[in-house]
Protein backbone atom coordinates (compact mmCIF):
# COMPACT_ATOMS: atom_id res chain seq x y z
CA UNK A 1 0.00 0.00 0.00
CA UNK A 2 1.44 3.37 -1.02
CA UNK A 3 1.44 6.46 1.19
CA UNK A 4 -0.82 9.28 0.00
CA UNK A 5 -1.45 12.86 1.19
CA UNK A 6 -4.40 12.79 3.59
CA UNK A 7 -5.05 16.44 4.52
CA UNK A 8 -2.97 18.49 2.07
CA UNK A 9 -5.98 20.30 0.58
CA UNK A 10 -7.14 21.41 4.02
CA UNK A 11 -3.64 22.50 5.07
CA UNK A 12 -3.15 24.34 1.78
CA UNK A 13 -6.47 26.16 2.22
CA UNK A 14 -5.53 27.14 5.79
CA UNK A 15 -2.18 28.53 4.62
CA UNK A 16 -3.80 30.56 1.85
CA UNK A 17 -6.42 31.90 4.27
CA UNK A 18 -3.76 33.11 6.69
CA UNK A 19 -1.91 34.83 3.85
CA UNK A 20 -5.08 36.38 2.39
CA UNK A 21 -6.26 37.78 5.72
CA UNK A 22 -2.78 39.04 6.60
CA UNK A 23 -2.70 36.98 9.80
CA UNK A 24 0.63 35.47 8.67
CA UNK A 25 3.17 36.86 6.21
CA UNK A 26 5.96 34.29 6.59
CA UNK A 27 5.79 30.55 5.97
CA UNK A 28 8.48 27.96 6.68
CA UNK A 29 8.10 24.47 5.23
CA UNK A 30 9.76 21.20 6.09
CA UNK A 31 10.75 19.35 2.92
CA UNK A 32 10.29 15.58 3.26
CA UNK A 33 6.61 14.76 3.53
CA UNK A 34 5.59 18.41 3.15
CA UNK A 35 6.88 19.79 -0.16
CA UNK A 36 8.42 16.57 -1.41
CA UNK A 37 7.06 13.03 -1.45
CA UNK A 38 10.44 11.41 -0.95
CA UNK A 39 9.32 8.07 0.45
CA UNK A 40 10.17 5.99 -2.63
CA UNK A 41 13.51 7.78 -2.97
CA UNK A 42 14.35 7.19 0.69
CA UNK A 43 13.56 3.48 0.50
CA UNK A 44 15.63 3.07 -2.68
CA UNK A 45 18.58 4.85 -1.06
CA UNK A 46 18.49 2.81 2.13
CA UNK A 47 18.13 -0.55 0.41
CA UNK A 48 20.92 0.17 -2.07
CA UNK A 49 23.37 0.95 0.74
CA UNK A 50 22.25 -1.96 2.95
CA UNK A 51 22.73 -4.42 0.08
CA UNK A 52 26.04 -2.86 -0.96
CA UNK A 53 27.51 -3.65 2.46
CA UNK A 54 26.14 -7.18 2.46
CA UNK A 55 23.54 -6.83 5.20
CA UNK A 56 20.15 -8.49 5.06
CA UNK A 57 17.55 -5.96 6.17
CA UNK A 58 15.43 -7.21 9.07
CA UNK A 59 12.34 -5.07 9.47
CA UNK A 60 8.97 -6.33 10.60
CA UNK A 61 7.06 -3.54 12.37
CA UNK A 62 5.16 -1.14 10.09
CA UNK A 63 6.24 -0.07 6.63
CA UNK A 64 9.75 0.59 5.38
CA UNK A 65 8.45 3.85 3.88
CA UNK A 66 7.36 5.06 7.29
CA UNK A 67 10.65 4.03 8.90
CA UNK A 68 12.66 5.92 6.29
CA UNK A 69 10.53 9.05 6.62
CA UNK A 70 10.66 9.32 10.41
CA UNK A 71 14.23 8.56 11.43
CA UNK A 72 17.78 9.75 10.85
CA UNK A 73 20.04 7.72 8.50
CA UNK A 74 22.01 6.07 11.32
CA UNK A 75 18.82 5.16 13.21
CA UNK A 76 17.30 3.63 10.06
CA UNK A 77 20.38 1.52 9.40
CA UNK A 78 20.55 0.26 12.99
CA UNK A 79 16.89 -0.76 12.90
CA UNK A 80 17.39 -2.66 9.64
CA UNK A 81 20.74 -4.20 10.66
CA UNK A 82 20.95 -4.26 14.49
CA UNK A 83 24.52 -5.59 14.41
CA UNK A 84 25.61 -2.12 13.28
CA UNK A 85 25.22 -1.00 16.90
CA UNK A 86 28.63 -2.55 17.52
CA UNK A 87 30.21 -1.43 14.23
CA UNK A 88 30.50 2.38 14.45
CA UNK A 89 33.08 2.71 11.66
CA UNK A 90 30.99 0.69 9.18
CA UNK A 91 27.90 2.61 10.24
CA UNK A 92 29.63 5.94 9.57
CA UNK A 93 30.70 4.77 6.10
CA UNK A 94 27.17 3.64 5.29
CA UNK A 95 25.68 6.95 6.41
CA UNK A 96 28.13 8.81 4.18
CA UNK A 97 27.22 6.54 1.26
CA UNK A 98 23.52 7.20 1.91
CA UNK A 99 24.12 10.93 1.53
CA UNK A 100 25.81 10.40 -1.84
CA UNK A 101 23.15 8.00 -3.12
CA UNK A 102 20.39 10.32 -1.89
CA UNK A 103 21.60 13.08 -4.22
CA UNK A 104 21.37 10.70 -7.20
CA UNK A 105 17.93 9.51 -6.09
CA UNK A 106 16.43 13.00 -5.98
CA UNK A 107 15.04 12.14 -9.43
CA UNK A 108 12.56 9.85 -7.63
CA UNK A 109 11.11 12.64 -5.47
CA UNK A 110 7.67 13.94 -6.45
CA UNK A 111 6.14 17.31 -5.50
CA UNK A 112 3.25 17.36 -3.04
CA UNK A 113 0.18 19.55 -3.61
CA UNK A 114 1.68 22.26 -1.36
CA UNK A 115 4.29 23.11 -3.99
CA UNK A 116 1.43 24.36 -6.13
CA UNK A 117 0.50 27.14 -3.69
CA UNK A 118 3.99 28.66 -3.48
CA UNK A 119 3.70 30.89 -6.59
CA UNK A 120 0.45 32.45 -5.34
CA UNK A 121 1.76 32.92 -1.81
CA UNK A 122 4.75 34.77 -3.23
CA UNK A 123 3.13 36.55 -6.18
CA UNK A 124 -0.32 37.49 -4.88
CA UNK A 125 0.45 38.08 -1.21
CA UNK A 126 4.18 38.84 -1.15
CA UNK A 127 4.73 36.18 1.51
CA UNK A 128 8.20 35.33 2.76
CA UNK A 129 8.91 31.64 2.12
CA UNK A 130 11.58 29.33 3.50
CA UNK A 131 12.43 25.68 3.94
CA UNK A 132 13.93 24.21 7.12
CA UNK A 133 15.01 20.61 6.57
CA UNK A 134 17.20 18.04 8.29
CA UNK A 135 18.62 17.19 4.86
CA UNK A 136 22.18 18.18 4.14
CA UNK A 137 23.85 18.41 0.70
CA UNK A 138 20.86 16.90 -1.07
CA UNK A 139 18.42 19.58 0.12
CA UNK A 140 18.82 22.05 -2.73
CA UNK A 141 18.82 19.43 -5.53
CA UNK A 142 15.63 18.01 -3.99
CA UNK A 143 14.01 21.45 -3.96
CA UNK A 144 14.96 21.94 -7.61
CA UNK A 145 13.50 18.54 -8.46
CA UNK A 146 10.04 19.45 -7.14
CA UNK A 147 10.10 23.00 -8.56
CA UNK A 148 10.11 24.79 -5.20
CA UNK A 149 13.57 26.36 -5.04
CA UNK A 150 12.86 29.43 -7.18
CA UNK A 151 10.02 30.55 -4.90
CA UNK A 152 12.03 30.52 -1.65
CA UNK A 153 13.68 33.39 0.19
CA UNK A 154 15.77 31.08 2.39
CA UNK A 155 16.82 27.44 2.67
CA UNK A 156 18.14 26.17 6.00
CA UNK A 157 19.60 22.66 6.29
CA UNK A 158 21.30 20.70 9.04
CA UNK A 159 24.58 21.99 7.62
CA UNK A 160 23.49 25.43 8.83
CA UNK A 161 21.88 24.66 12.20
CA UNK A 162 21.24 21.71 14.56
CA UNK A 163 18.68 19.21 13.33
CA UNK A 164 15.08 19.46 14.42
CA UNK A 165 13.64 19.07 17.02
CA UNK A 166 16.15 21.78 17.96
CA UNK A 167 14.52 25.18 17.41
CA UNK A 168 17.66 26.73 15.88
CA UNK A 169 16.78 25.83 12.29
CA UNK A 170 13.44 27.66 12.49
CA UNK A 171 15.01 30.67 14.16
CA UNK A 172 17.72 30.88 11.51
CA UNK A 173 15.14 30.70 8.71
CA UNK A 174 13.26 33.60 10.28
CA UNK A 175 16.42 35.67 10.60
CA UNK A 176 17.28 35.06 6.95
CA UNK A 177 13.81 36.18 5.85
CA UNK A 178 13.46 39.05 8.30
CA UNK A 179 10.39 37.35 9.77
CA UNK A 180 8.80 37.60 13.21
CA UNK A 181 7.59 34.56 15.23
CA UNK A 182 4.04 35.87 15.75
CA UNK A 183 3.66 36.31 11.96
CA UNK A 184 5.24 32.99 10.99
CA UNK A 185 3.65 29.60 10.33
CA UNK A 186 5.78 26.45 10.17
CA UNK A 187 4.40 23.51 8.19
CA UNK A 188 5.79 20.11 9.15
CA UNK A 189 4.74 16.48 9.34
CA UNK A 190 6.02 14.95 12.59
CA UNK A 191 6.55 15.50 16.30
CA UNK A 192 10.11 16.77 15.76
CA UNK A 193 8.72 19.53 13.54
CA UNK A 194 6.06 20.35 16.14
CA UNK A 195 8.66 20.58 18.89
CA UNK A 196 11.01 22.74 16.81
CA UNK A 197 8.26 25.14 15.80
CA UNK A 198 6.87 25.54 19.29
CA UNK A 199 10.38 26.03 20.65
CA UNK A 200 10.91 28.88 18.19
CA UNK A 201 7.63 30.49 19.21
CA UNK A 202 5.80 30.08 15.88
CA UNK A 203 2.45 28.55 14.98
CA UNK A 204 2.71 25.01 13.58
CA UNK A 205 0.53 23.13 11.10
CA UNK A 206 1.12 19.42 10.46
CA UNK A 207 0.28 17.57 7.27
CA UNK A 208 -0.77 13.93 7.47
CA UNK A 209 -0.24 10.89 5.27
CA UNK A 210 -2.73 8.08 4.69
CA UNK A 211 -2.57 4.71 2.91
CA UNK A 212 -4.07 3.39 -0.29
pLDDT in tens, 87-135: 999 999 999 999 899 999 999 999 999 999 999 999 999 999 999 999 9
Distance, in Å, from the CA atom of 133 to the CA atom of 169, rounded to the nearest integer, reads 8
Cis ω for the linkage preceding 165 (within 30 of 0): yes
Contact 187, 207 (CB under 8 A): yes
Hey, which bits of 64-211 come out as E strands? Answer: 110-111, 128-132, 154-156, 184-188, 203-206, 209-211
- Name the nearest CA neighbour of 28 among 123, 133, 140: 133
Full-model pTM: 0.88
The CATH classification number of 3-37+109-211 equals 3.40.50.1000
Could you give the angle at which helices 39-52 and 88-104 cross, rounded to 10 degrees? Answer: 140
pLDDT in tens, 141-200: 999 999 999 999 999 999 999 999 999 999 999 999 999 999 999 999 989 999 999 999
b or e along 8-25 (b: 16 or more beta carbons within 10 Å of the residue's beta carbon)? beebbeebbebbeeeebb
Amino acid sequence: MAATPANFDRVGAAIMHKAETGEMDSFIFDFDGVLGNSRAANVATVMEVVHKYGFKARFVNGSLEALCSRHSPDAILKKLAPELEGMPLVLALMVEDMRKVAIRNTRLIEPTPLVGILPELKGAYGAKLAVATNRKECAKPALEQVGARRHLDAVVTSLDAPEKPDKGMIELAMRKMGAFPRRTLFIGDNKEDLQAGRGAGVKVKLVQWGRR
